[in-house]
Amino acid sequence: MEQVTGQGQASFARAPGLLLLGGAIVLAYILLAILAGSVSGYDPDIIDLNQLLQPPSALHWFGTDHLGRDVFSRVIHGARIDLYIGFAGVIAPLLIGTLVGLVSGFFGGPLDALMMRLVDLTVAFPFFVLVLAIVAALGPGVESYFIALACVGWVTYARIIRAEVLVIRSRDYIAAARTLGLHPLYILIRHVLPNAISPVAVYVMTDIALIIVFGASLGFLGMGSQPPTAEWGVMIADGQTYISSAWWICFFPGVAIVLLGLGFSFLGDGLASLLRAGR
Amino acid sequence: MGLFQLLIRRCLQLVPILIGISIVVFALVRLTPGDPARLLVGPRVAEEVLVEIRQRYGLDQPLPIQYARYVGQLIIGDLGHSFRYKIPVSQLIFNHLPPTLFLVCYAIVLTLIPTLILATVAARRQGQWPDHVIRVIGVAGMTMPVFWLGIMMSRLFGVSLGWFPVSGYGEGFVDHLHHLFLPAVSTAIWVTPILVRNLRSALLEEMDSDYVLAARSKGLPEGYIFRRHILGNSLLPTLHLLGVLVAYLLGGTVIVETVYAVPGLGQLMINSVLARDYFVIQGLTLYFALATVLVTFAVDVATAAIDPRVKL
Amino acid sequence: TIRMATPYKATVLDPTKSAAAGEIELFGQLYARLLRRSADGKLEPGLAESWEVSDDGKKFVFRLREAKFSDGSPLTAADVAFSLSRALGEGSAYPAPFSAIESVEAEDERTVVVNLKAPAAPFLGYMEIFNAGIVSKADVEARGPEKAFTENPVTSGPFMVKEWKPNDRLILERNPHYWRTGHPKVDQVALIEVADTNTRIAMLQGGEIDVARDAPFAQVGELDASDKIDVPLHPSTVIYMTLLNHGRAPFNDIRVRQAAAHALDVSALTKAVTHGHATPANTTLPEALLFHHKDYPGISQDVAKAKALLAEAGAPQGEAVIMVTAGSVLSEQLAVLIQAQWAAVGLKSKIEKVDVGLWWDRLTTGDYDAAPSWWYNETEDPDLAARWALCGACGNKSFYTNYNNETVNQLTEQALNEIDPEKRKALYIRMQEISTEEVSQIPLYYPPYTNAYSTRVKGLMLSPALQWNFEDAEIVE
Amino acid sequence: MTQARRQGSKEPILSVTSLNVDFATAGGLVRAVEGVSLDLHLGEVLGIVGESGSGKSVTCRAITRLLPLSARVSGRILLEGDDILALDENDMRGIRGEKIAMIFQNPSTHLDPLMRIGRQIGEGLRFRLGRNARQARQEAIGLLADVRISEPERRVDSYPHELSGGMKQRAMIAGALACQPRILIADEPTTALDVTVQSAILDLLRDIRHGRDLAMILVSHDLAVIAQMCDRILVMKDGRVVESGEAEEVVQRPQAAYTRILIDSQPEIMARRRSGAGHRAPLRAERPGEAMFRIENLTVEFSGRGGLLSGLLGTAAPATRAVTDLSLEIGHGETLGIVGESGSGKTTLARCLVKLVLPTAGRIWFCGHPICTMSRRDTVDYRRRVQMVFQNPYESLDPRMSAAQAIAEPLLRHRIAKGGAVGHRVRELMGMVELPVSLATRRPRQLSGGQCQRVAIARALAMEPQVLVADEITSALDVTIQSQILGLLQNLRERMGLTIILISHDLGVVRTFCHRAAVMQGGRLVETGAVEDLFGRPGQDYTRQLLAAIPRMPHTDLRGQSQSPPAAANP
Ligand SMILES: Nc1ncnc2c1ncn2[C@@H]1O[C@H](COP(=O)(O)OP(=O)(O)OP(=O)(O)O)[C@@H](O)[C@H]1O
Ligand SMILES: Nc1ncnc2c1ncn2[C@@H]1O[C@H](COP(=O)(O)OP(=O)(O)OP(=O)(O)O)[C@@H](O)[C@H]1O
Ligand SMILES: [Mg+2]
Ligand SMILES: [Mg+2]
């Protein structure tokens, strides 16, 4: 007697695996962030001008940077600020974008046209002007970054989810829900959203990683974290002049971001396959 | 309704938005601290000089009057002059447009094919090693800051191997291809993984749908089923994501342009913002709006072309 | 062709319309001046063959040599008078050097007379600086100042504009009518604007350019070690310092300022930031200027004293704001170091990174406590430097620090009119002593230029006062 | 001699031995098929009948190895001596399409929404038989004509969503027949077809079977169809085969108890036994005043879409008229049957009634209120009173909601039941439609066609509507459950005065269950009248054709029946 199971394995059997792996990685980071103080051994901001640019050693596992700070403890402490940036930065765009995409795609008509032109406008809006204005108004810092992101980042979510909704709304189960006299908003939340969310679930995890990286790229506008905060993106940016002489300054924060990105990637895919299996 | 009429309608819908965006941008840039006059002539100038410059450009007028003037100019098709360069904004934009356009198209070309291939492989080998390899490389590519990647690539392909120039735009098509290769690749390296992740997920979603089953029941080759049935149905969300990304890229890939010294719109924008070159910022904003509408329109047309259930 | 990548932008070609670094370096290539400096920094005849000074030092008579503009038209005294009047008159970006001038007259075709309000020691030197360049009166009047300087300006210097792509590059080609026959030796100079340091270095290493302006200190050693690249570390008039806002607490209190200065280990800090390539600063004026007070000990690190001073002043409330321009790596590093060393003596501070525009706004409105920054002087004479950085009555509140010491203000004016170099020296030394003692700013270090040159280029250098000698440089293959 | 006997000595082309199929579900492994064995010979038609949810579809899919990933299959399936379960995907692909083709039970989801149906039909031709695009298209048109789709040249370029339920089903059949398979597995291929088309399709299958020695497995709830078409019959219940044998034998002398019930509950038979109208409550005295529904000059058009290029050139395809100038009244408590050709606009009419499709012209009144101009609040109220069961129940259920959730939703949202009463009511409703409680947590994908259908019915009934618009509610149900559901509806009709609009292809059901019937063709109302009149003295040609095409249970010579060509020639 043989066992034959379609091709490959059942996708929902795999979902928890990916989710677990991704969750474990992200959780590990969260733990590191919480316990940063006791794990790292050095104060991340302590400057030691006698220990500039030391290569990795038993004393300094990841070496020291151009100001003699311990890269290992900076990487560890970086988890704190970077997780914060990632999560806090994604939340508003996610919520706003999802809402706009849902409503716009579902109700269509003039509302949709209006919303989509608003999306166009937002995409077209000069981001740097926005950033400057926000920084000028609120002062430099990560919070300004979040606000700038919230103003702009939702667009992507809105477009993605709207594309899904446009197809879903013509399905019979939505028609059926209508004939049940259910409130359109309820239909939107209960029937449309769960069926449209999976690309968003994947993108949001990508987005978190992008937000962390992008923050560093905006440093030149006074955006993102302020020195001397240990933040991976900034550490990499600072280290770029030392690429040939002190690779470790960029390398370890880079690895930290990649690993975290992987964690989120697993999480996103796991979530998506869970959603798939939920059908 | 013909496509062309639709496009016209889109552009008409754009008009109020343009007005809105121009007012907001106008107000924002002017309310943001930072004196264009000082940035224009260097730090060591005397206060009187600054006053004189502000007067000359009408910056001392109340905002509504300044705006009215600006709109008056716009109506006769004049985007104004750059404070810094004293040349028409339209000319400045026109000069910086080709590199950006070229770069974006180049990057898209370099993105699309790998995206399709990688997403396909990842989806079909879901959970197997090719999937994981693609994921790891993708995440690395995505999370690698562009400025860092730029340095590495310049060093490797520009300095050590000498295969590609590390800066500039070049003269003539082939030269553009050569010069913009590294910038385009650097862009593709972070755009591709984003698209791959999304496409992969959508592919998986469609792969166990009933019509795929039906296609299998006809004994069609897997490759064909994939291309004709699964891909088309999965493409929409990714297409929209691509649309947004392209729209952003058309606004100038600031960092890539900076790292590879490509004289594109992104650089122009950031420099103008830093220098508070108001009219350039505003002119660029109008351009962005137009570019965005065109891209969105293209995506919407493509959506309707792919999916008959979606009406334009 | 000599190709140079520089972070400084060329935005205007009118010599009177800007005093920003990119233009300062450029104007000299386009517009010849009455005097010029030799390779060793001596003043020598330029467009003026010779000159005479009246005994009271208030009247200068310049004899012009036979010279032509790039369009072939003759360069006359009228052009000189026209140009100098523009430079000192309304609409000039930087009239300060010419403030002593009462009138400029063309006596005849060849003779220019300059009358001063009072004798001014640095005056001759000012006839050499970037905005004293001579432009064609006929052309400017014919085309109007906007057009004349955007489309193919008529130049008098070694080069003329071949192609200008604003915000990208400026290509200069040799001016066949330049008065120094045989110069320039190269046909073209391309000034390419490249904001990113690493890109400039990569371009140089990849052979795409011949000169990279401002290599990072971290890479100087490595670059110099390459046999294709030289980094000669020529002296500059640049000084890195920290501005302190005297206009508000805590730094309105001299004890806190002194504590802040004593808290810093300037030489360690210099070494860390510049990898030992710069000299720690001992006074408030740049080292490369005339009359720099070489032997002055400066304020040395003394943590105990700093703490004592702070205690005496009463511990400052809150955190001092250290404002830095975003994108300036060095300033940011300095800020971090300063913050740490201040913290060690109990002076709390936080760093705020803002973009250049905002930085200037906040600086001029006094919305900061400390601001690590840098400046340079366009001449080697300290007059303008003192007016800029030390004088509280010269229009910019001592670099917007609100430092205002009557004595220093008086000394500034006195030194301008004093002709005797020895006496001038004494005046400037006093000014340096007073201002350093009172911690008008905290001087940090005097960096050299870190321009990196391909070995293809011979004889090219940047003078301390930011003038290139492209006309003397050659390409050797 | 039947075909089977002629070939009896030969090896069967397909032989299934003790097939077991389990599904991994949230609640553990669920056995769907247990120990099923069957043999199929060339030129033979094997009928599978059985209770809804008894594993018919699963068995069929197991044979083509197209079960979902959560399925565990064991047993042996030999195709010409090769064990299919041991083949790899590549070899399997060689088998599918040419050797075994499958018609799925649920045509609408089995068609790619983005591909024109002509292409979908032609795909097999191009890849299996190497036709080029033009040839494939031509053949697709031919096939569409074979399955009686009118205007095949136009329809070949339609997208699935532009087709009616029956058209999709026929497109599906055409696609399966395209590559001239040796074995055809047809899972309820005619549920959405009206009797005329159905008989044409059955004729077509019969012709192919004779012409090409096709072996066929036919799953159907329609015993008459099975009896007409099949040589042998397999009766399934609860995943097991309860009886199998020669068709004649099984029909005439059913052995298993279940088979007997099955045959007995055949509505036609029932109707005959119960002297016509007995089953149907007489319509209560006409209530005075307004009719429940008054439809006046209803016209519905769907804008055509001729692809992007033609859109560009301004030559978009002409609009499709689904309903043309239709006027009709439906009284309180009345049961109106709507019958008619597939694609004649029945579903469109139904969708108009529940405000899912807005009429292009014409008006509809509900109890004197025009429904098209109702306010939002009135609409909610209206929808509480008028419920619809969709033609394709599977599509009408949210893929993420379990059966119980789907049924509970209206209860909760409209506060029809509260707290613990909800669960109770859900179970009650499931019981009413004969759904085992064990299916409560299943999602639509994990249910059989008939089970989905019943979930949809229960959901509609949960609203306690005054009007039920039922689009083909019986087609996916076996006769026993069918008669139970009809009994339930009748009960409701009698107790609560439920008005029912029943769209059905099953004229037997309409005749026994409805008071009045309306016949539609090409979007127009051809004829309406009391069923007795209509069925007894049809006034229109089309109605007569319909009646003539009703498949009947053979009572006498089965052999003669199955070999005589058109069923329409029957008395
Ligand atoms: N993916 C699945 N997961 C779990 N159970 C399933 C799945 N698919 C089918 N089943 C169950 O298997 C049983 C047999 O289903 P099948 O579809 O074969 O029924 P059927 O005989 O075709 O019924 P119908 O006449 O209603 O179509 C049903 O009880 C059904 O609920
Ligand atoms: N969305 C649509 N776009 C275009 N044409 C449509 C659309 N929906 C239905 N039609 C067309 O309208 C006509 C009537 O379809 P309808 O679904 O009402 O038929 P039906 O009577 O229910 O048929 P069946 O018995 O096969 O379900 C058909 O020709 C169909 O192709
Ligand atoms: Mg079934
Ligand atoms: Mg229908």
- Which pLDDT tens digit goes with each residue over C78-126? 999 999 998 888 778 888 888 888 889 888 888 999 999 888 888 888 8
Percentage with pLDDT > 70 across chain D: 88
Contact C360 B168 (CB under 8 A): no
Which among D89, D399, D409 is the nearest to A7, CB-wise? D89
Q: How far is the CA of D346 from the centre of ligand 2 (A)?
A: 8
- Which pLDDT tens digit goes with each residue over D79-132? 888 888 888 888 888 888 788 888 988 888 888 888 888 888 888 888 878 888
- Which pLDDT tens digit goes with each residue over D148-166? 888 888 888 888 888 888 8
User: What H or E segment, with its residue span, contains residue C307?
Assistant: helix C303-313
Please report the pLDDT score of residue B29 as a whole number: 84
- Which pLDDT tens digit goes with each residue over C392-407? 888 788 888 989 989 9
Q: What is the DSSP string of C42-92?
A: -EEESSEEEEEE-TTS-EEEEEEPP-B-TTSPBP-HHHHHHHHHHHHSTT-
Measured by CA distance, the residue closest to atom 10 of ligand 2 is D162
Q: How far is the CA of D94 from the centre of ligand 1 (A)?
A: 27
3-state DSSP helix/strand/coil % of chain B, to nearest 5: 75, 0, 20
Q: Is the bond into D318 cis (omega within 30 degrees of 0)?
A: no
Amino acid, res. D150: S
pLDDT at D187 over 60: yes
Nearest-angstrom CA–CA distance, C354 and A227: 12
Please report the pLDDT score of residue C443 as a whole number: 92
- Asked if residue B70 lies in contact with residue B282, where contact means CB atoms within 8 angstroms, the answer is yes
C-alpha separations of D188 from A138, B213, C178, C190, D218 in Å: 67, 17, 97, 80, 7
User: What H or E segment, with its residue span, contains residue A195?
Assistant: helix A193-196
Nearest-angstrom CA–CA distance, B265 and B93: 7
Rounded average pLDDT over B164-191:
86
- Which pLDDT tens digit goes with each residue over B273-282? 888 888 898 8
Please report the pLDDT score of residue D305 as a whole number: 56
Please report the pLDDT score of residue A15 as a whole number: 53
Bridge partner residues of C324 (DSSP) = C353
Contact A254 B144 (CB under 8 A): yes
Please report the pLDDT score of residue A13 as a whole number: 46
Nearest-angstrom CA–CA distance, C211 and C229: 9
Where do the H-state alpha helices sit in D265-342?
A: 267-273, 307-313
Please report the pLDDT score of residue B73 as a whole number: 85
Please report the pLDDT score of residue C257 as a whole number: 92
Where do the H-state alpha helices sit in C77-177?
A: 77-88, 123-126, 137-148
Please report the pLDDT score of residue D52 as a whole number: 86
The overall average pLDDT reported for chain C is: 89
Nearest-angstrom CA–CA distance, C180 and C157: 9
> B18 versus C331: which is more confidently predicted?
C331
Which among B36, B44, B82 is the nearest to C94, CB-wise? B44
Q: What is the mean pLDDT of each run of 10 residues along chain A (279 residues)?
A: 37 64 90 80 79 82 84 86 88 92 89 86 82 80 84 89 88 89 89 89 87 76 74 82 83 86 86 79
Identify which of A53-62, B56-65, D229-238, D256-265 has the greatest average pLDDT.
D229-238
Please report the pLDDT score of residue B1 as a whole number: 53
Please report the pLDDT score of residue C452 as a whole number: 93
- Which pLDDT tens digit goes with each residue over C51-89? 999 888 889 999 999 888 998 899 999 999 999 998 888
Is D67's C-beta closer than 6 angstroms to any atom of ligand 1?
no
* Chain position carrying tokens 């999480």: A267
Which among D386, D396, D414 is the nearest to A176, CB-wise? D396
Please report the pLDDT score of residue B172 as a whole number: 83
Which two tokens mark A69? 């700070």
Backbone angles phi, psi at B99, to 5 degrees: -60, -40
Is D447's C-beta closer than 6 angstroms to any atom of ligand 1?
yes
Please report the pLDDT score of residue D560 as a whole number: 35
> C321 versus D6: which is more confidently predicted?
C321
The C-alpha of D538 sits at a distance from chain B's nearest C-alpha, in angstroms, of 40
Q: What is the DSSP string of D191-224?
A: TTS-HHHHHHHHHHHHHHHHHHT-EEEEE-S-HH
pLDDT at D556 over 80: no
Residues of A in contact with D68 (CB under 8 A): 6
Lowest mean pLDDT among B7-16, C247-256, C452-461: B7-16
* Chain C residues within 8 Å of chain A (Cβ atoms): 197-198, 216, 218-219, 222, 265, 268-269, 271-272, 324, 326-327, 329, 332-333, 335-337, 339-340, 350-355, 357-358
> A223 versus D18: which is more confidently predicted?
D18
Quick count: other Cβ atoms within 10 Å of Cβ D58?
A: 23
Please report the pLDDT score of residue C191 as a whole number: 92
Q: Please report which confidence band the pLDDT of residue D268 belongs to, taking 50, 70 and 90 as the band edges.
A: low
> D220 versus D550: which is more confidently predicted?
D220
- Which pLDDT tens digit goes with each residue over C334-349? 999 999 999 988 888 9
- Which pLDDT tens digit goes with each residue over C264-298? 999 889 988 888 899 999 999 998 888 998 888 88
Please report the pLDDT score of residue D290 as a whole number: 65
CA angle D91-D94-D98, nearest 5°? 150
Rounded average pLDDT over D124-143:
86
Residues of D in contact with B221 (CB under 8 A): 93, 127
pLDDT at C211 over 90: yes
* Chain position carrying tokens 């930065």: A89
Lowest mean pLDDT among A239-253, B6-20, D1-15, D256-270: D1-15
Rounded average pLDDT over D197-214:
86
pLDDT at D316 over 60: no
Contact D94 B219 (CB under 8 A): yes
Nearest-angstrom CA–CA distance, B145 and A219: 12
Measured by CA distance, the residue closest to atom 23 of ligand 2 is D343
Backbone angles phi, psi at D48, to 5 degrees: -120, 120
Residues of C in contact with A66 (CB under 8 A): 218, 272, 333
